[in-house]
Amino acid sequence: MSDNAEKIWSERNGSRSDSIEQVWPKESETMSEKSEKSLWDEKGIWIEPEDIEKQEEKGKLDTEEKAEKSEGAEKTEMTEKSEGTEKAENDGTSGGETPQKPVKFRDHFGFFGPATALYALFYAFCMYKNGSGITFPFFLAGSIFYFCSSMKRLGITLKKGSVFYMAVMMLLAISTFCTDDGRIIALNKTGIFLLMVSFLLNQFLRTEKWRLGKYFSAILTLLFYSLGELPEVWLDAAAYLKERKGKGGRRVGYVFLGLLITAPIFLVVLALLSSADAVFRLWTDRLFSVLMPGNLFGVLLRIALWYFGVYMVLSALYKKTVREEVKDRRNGEPLLAITVTGMLSLMYLVFSGIQIVYLFLGNMQLPEGYTYAKYAREGFFQLLAVGVINLIIVLVCMAFFRKNSLLKGILTVMSLCTFIMIASSALRMIIYIRYYYLTFLRIMVLWALATLFLLFAGVVVSIYREEFPLFRYGVTVVSVLYLALSFAHPDYWIAKVNVANAPQSMEQAQRYWQGDLQNAEWEVSEDDFFQTSEPYQDYRYLAGLSADAAPVLLPYMERLGYDFRVLNSTGGASERKAGSERTVSEDYWDAVRRCSEDAVQGRGNPAGFGYFYLESLQDCINDMSVRKFNISRYLAVRIARNLIS
């Protein structure tokens, strides 16, 4: 650079520096070096102080906005975590992390396919032609284990109240194994089915706020939607096999090849061992009698139906086809319910007054042609039906009409009148039993009245306390009362009461049966509970009782002179000659005719009813295998054999 150029540059810079010093004198400067430098930007452009203040304010605003966004993001993340935790708890899972739930049920087919197949095989083994044997409690225990294992696989833990369901089901299964009464067995299985479905609904869904109507609709909805899962069974299996194609396919081939090679060798060895030992031959004959084409088809059909049914129900539950939410449908006009229930309550008040004056106190004149006993023996079935109708009416009013103090009062009056009707019906039934003895239906009426009484007590509480768990209370009441009925063996008590009031010798029994009452020795005092003028003579009903009544009936038949040797006249089906066209029943009745000429007179004859009853015990003797072992039938056969010896 030339000297002239350097001179010009220095003059220019010096003048510019002086001008700056004139504007911002050093002695009056209050800004720091950093603020002085901030008057010039990076490109050397002058910035006014006002602009600097604006930029600083804008920077503060940007910083505050970023801080707010960061805080909002943290809150959102915490909310999502809490919602995930709540969802995990609702799904029955626990832990700090939200479980990764598969989108479709078929993702679990690797577990549920084989597990359900084994469960179906176990069902066929326990239940085929064996509805009340020793295998029934084991089957139910296996069912509970299967469903609990399935829920554990899906990440669902046991909820509150589930243990009660399982305990009641196991007690009903034990009761089934201990009785021979077909009516009790059918009721036990119905109760187990309803409890099992309720147990599964309680596990898979949130049922805390469900009412009685919601439970019944949920059960029907679940069964209906389960039918729609039938195609899913095939689709899930196909998807699983497609995914596993080539993985282990060679092993499966080796297994089938081994079975083909083993089959002829197995049959040859089986034939040799059967000819070598008589006991082994007997067992193989029984095995092949079970594996007959008809039996084999029945077993395979039950396996298939149980497999598909269980898989479809679990699939429907997993997909939550039943809605969990409970809509408040109490939007009906209370005036409508008040009109209906008010009219009925007025009629019930009049009727209840008549029951108190005429039936309970017996202080007023009865209609012409009626005695007190005849008046009391009528109407118990009708009153039971009215009580059930009233229960339905009260539940409907509570579920579909808006709250109203007057309506609550009328429903309370209706419930109190129902209590009087229940007491009236029970008293009438007891009086009827005093004149006509016990039957299963009469016992069931008394049981139903007791159950209805306790259910209405819960309904009265729920009228004034909406949070009262009416459904759980009802399940508990019905379960406890029915377990008492089931384990009581009604047939035993029917036989005990009726036989105690029957003729105790064949001569006396024949005299009453033939209508010869001149030499009657039957006397009744006012202190006796039974007030009939004749002893019990319904031998036809006694002949139809189950093996539960054997501890009472067999000693009574011995007193009448029955010959128990007829039970030794026939053997089991496996001991009969091949190709024989005769049946065990024919052989039995041939023996009966040889023992007693009067035996064929019929079920209603005191000399013949016992042989009809012994015929059912003969069937128990012929079919007393290990798998079909039943406590009641075993005790009956044991008592009969002791009487033979």
Closest CA relative to residue 486, chosen from 205, 248, 189, 241: 189
Do residues 240 and 362 share a domain? no
Q: Taking a C-beta distance cutoff of 8 angstroms, is the pair 553, 564 a contact?
A: no
Query: 607 or 163: which carries more pLDDT confidence?
Result: 163
Q: In which band, very low, low, confident or very high, does the pLDDT at 455 lie, cut at 50, 70 and 90?
A: very high
User: What is the structure's pLDDT at 90?
Assistant: 45
Do residues 207 and 305 share a domain? yes
Looking at residue 332, the DSSP 8-state letter turns out to be B
Do residues 287 and 363 share a domain? no
Do residues 117 and 218 share a domain? yes
For residue 59, the Cα-to-chain-centroid distance in whole angstroms is 68
Q: Which of 98-102, 292-296, 517-521 has the lowest mean pLDDT?
A: 98-102
- The Cα 358–Cα 545 span in angstroms is 37
Do residues 351 and 460 share a domain? yes
Average pLDDT, the chain: 78
Strand pairing partners for 401? Answer: 332
pLDDT digits (tens, 9 = 90+) for 553-562: 999 999 988 8
pLDDT digits (tens, 9 = 90+) for 400-426: 888 889 999 999 999 999 999 999 888
Token code pair at residue 344? 């009925």
User: What is the structure's pLDDT at 247?
Assistant: 55
User: What is the structure's pLDDT at 98?
Assistant: 43
Closest CA relative to residue 234, chosen from 118, 138, 328, 109: 109
Query: 545 or 23: which carries more pLDDT confidence?
Result: 545
| Structural domain contains residue 228 | yes
User: What is the structure's pLDDT at 29?
Assistant: 45
pLDDT digits (tens, 9 = 90+) for 98-123: 444 445 777 888 888 889 999 999 99
- The Cα 605–Cα 608 span in angstroms is 5
Strand pairing partners for 40? Answer: 46
Closest CA relative to residue 274, chosen from 265, 264, 284, 266: 284
Amino acid at 330: R
Q: 284, 318, 352: which is the final residue of a domain? A: 318
Mean of pLDDT values over 538-566: 89
User: What is the structure's pLDDT at 96?
Assistant: 42
Query: 366 or 322: which carries more pLDDT confidence?
Result: 322
Burial of 457 (0-12, 13-18, 19+ CB in 10 A): middle
Q: In which band, very low, low, confident or very high, does the pLDDT at 620 lie, cut at 50, 70 and 90?
A: confident
Q: In which band, very low, low, confident or very high, does the pLDDT at 624 lie, cut at 50, 70 and 90?
A: confident
Do residues 545 and 616 share a domain? yes
| Structural domain contains residue 295 | yes
Q: How many Cβ atoms are within 10 Å of 218's Cβ, its own excluded? A: 20
Do residues 441 and 470 share a domain? yes
Q: Taking a C-beta distance cutoff of 8 angstroms, is the pair 359, 424 a contact?
A: yes
Mean of pLDDT values over 136-149: 95
Residues constituting the chain: 645
| Structural domain contains residue 310 | yes
User: What is the structure's pLDDT at 63?
Assistant: 61
Q: How many Cβ atoms are within 10 Å of 322's Cβ, its own excluded? A: 20
Measured on CA atoms in the order 283, 285, 291, 294, is the torsion positive or negative?
A: negative
Q: In which band, very low, low, confident or very high, does the pLDDT at 250 lie, cut at 50, 70 and 90?
A: low
Q: In which band, very low, low, confident or very high, does the pLDDT at 209 lie, cut at 50, 70 and 90?
A: confident
Report in angstroms the alpha-carbon separations of 581 from 257, 293, 465. Answer: 42, 20, 69
| Structural domain contains residue 250 | no
Closest CA relative to residue 231, chosen from 336, 105, 126, 349: 105
pTM for the structure as a whole: 0.75
| Structural domain contains residue 328 | no
Q: Taking a C-beta distance cutoff of 8 angstroms, is the pair 556, 499 a contact?
A: yes
Q: In which band, very low, low, confident or very high, does the pLDDT at 573 lie, cut at 50, 70 and 90?
A: very low
| Structural domain contains residue 261 | no
Mark residue 154 as left, alpha or beta (left: phi above 0; alpha: psi -120 to 50; beta: remaining): alpha
Burial of 468 (0-12, 13-18, 19+ CB in 10 A): middle
| Structural domain contains residue 57 | no
- The Cα 595–Cα 557 span in angstroms is 14
**Which residue in the block uniquely carries the two structure tokens 């049959």?**
267
- The Cα 30–Cα 17 span in angstroms is 19
Q: In which band, very low, low, confident or very high, does the pLDDT at 587 lie, cut at 50, 70 and 90?
A: low
Do residues 429 and 311 share a domain? no
Closest CA relative to residue 607, chosen from 643, 569, 559: 559
3-state helix, strand, coil in the chain (%, to 5): 70, 0, 25
Report in angstroms the alpha-carbon separations of 207 from 90, 330, 552. Answer: 11, 19, 47
| Structural domain contains residue 78 | no
State whether residue 40 is helix, strand or coil.
strand
pLDDT digits (tens, 9 = 90+) for 59-70: 655 565 555 555
User: What is the structure's pLDDT at 261?
Assistant: 75
Q: In the chain, how many domains are there?
A: 4
Measured on CA atoms in the order 372, 375, 378, 380, is the torsion positive or negative?
A: negative
Do residues 226 and 198 share a domain? yes
Do residues 229 and 376 share a domain? no
Looking at residue 99, the DSSP 8-state letter turns out to be P
User: What is the structure's pLDDT at 616?
Assistant: 82
Burial of 155 (0-12, 13-18, 19+ CB in 10 A): middle
Token code pair at residue 281? 């031959």
User: What is the structure's pLDDT at 460?
Assistant: 92
User: By residue range, what is the domain housing residue 164?
Assistant: 106-244+274-318
Burial of 177 (0-12, 13-18, 19+ CB in 10 A): buried
- The Cα 468–Cα 461 span in angstroms is 7
pLDDT digits (tens, 9 = 90+) for 14-38: 544 444 444 444 444 444 444 444 4
Q: Which pairs with CB-CB distance under 8 Å and at least 24 residues apart come from 569-573? A: 570/618, 570/622, 571/622, 572/621, 572/622, 572/623, 573/289, 573/622
Whether the per-residue pLDDT at 537 is higher than 70: the answer is yes
- The Cα 372–Cα 434 span in angstroms is 13
pLDDT digits (tens, 9 = 90+) for 331-383: 888 899 999 999 999 999 998 888 887 777 765 556 667 665 666 667 778 88
Do residues 311 and 370 share a domain? no
pLDDT digits (tens, 9 = 90+) for 229-248: 888 888 888 887 777 765 55
DSSP string, 366-419: PPTT--HHHHHTS-HHHHHHHHHHHHHHHHHHHHHB---HHHHHHHHHHHHHHH
Do residues 426 and 384 share a domain? yes
User: What is the structure's pLDDT at 446?
Assistant: 93
Looking at residue 157, the DSSP 8-state letter turns out to be P
User: What is the structure's pLDDT at 550?
Assistant: 93
